[in-house]
Amino acid sequence: MDLVRELLRGAVPVHVLHHAAEQEVYGAWMAEELAHHGYPISPGTLYPLLHRLENAGLLTSTEHVVDGRVRRVYTATAAGLGELTRLRAVVAELSGEVLRPAPATGPHT
For 60-94, the pLDDT digits (tens) are 999 999 899 999 999 999 999 999 999 999 999 99
Residue at 68 is within a domain? yes
- CATH number, residue 92: 1.10.10.10
Mean pLDDT score across all residues of the chain:
91
pLDDT at residue 58 greater than cutoff 90? yes
Cβ partners under 8 Å of residue 37, min gap 6: 15
HSE-up of residue 2 (Cα within 13 Å, Cβ side): 6
Is residue 81 packed enough to be buried (19+ CB in 10 Å), middle (13-18) or exposed (0-12)?
middle
Length of the chain: 109
Domains contained in the chain, number: 1
Residue at 105 is within a domain? no
Q: In this predicted model, what pLDDT tens digit does every residue of 18-32 receive, in sequence order? A: 999 999 999 999 999
Secondary structure class of 37 (helix, strand, coil): coil
What pLDDT, on the 0 to 100 scale, is given for residue 15?
94
Do strands 69-76 and 25-26 pair parallel, antiparallel, or not at all (unpaired)? antiparallel
Residue at 13 is within a domain? yes
Domain that holds residue 32: 3-99
Residue at 72 is within a domain? yes
Beta bridge partners of 93: none
More confident call, 28 vs 101 = 28
What pLDDT, on the 0 to 100 scale, is given for residue 109?
56
Residue at 19 is within a domain? yes
Residue at 107 is within a domain? no
Helix axis angle, 27-36 relative to 3-22, nearest 10°? 130
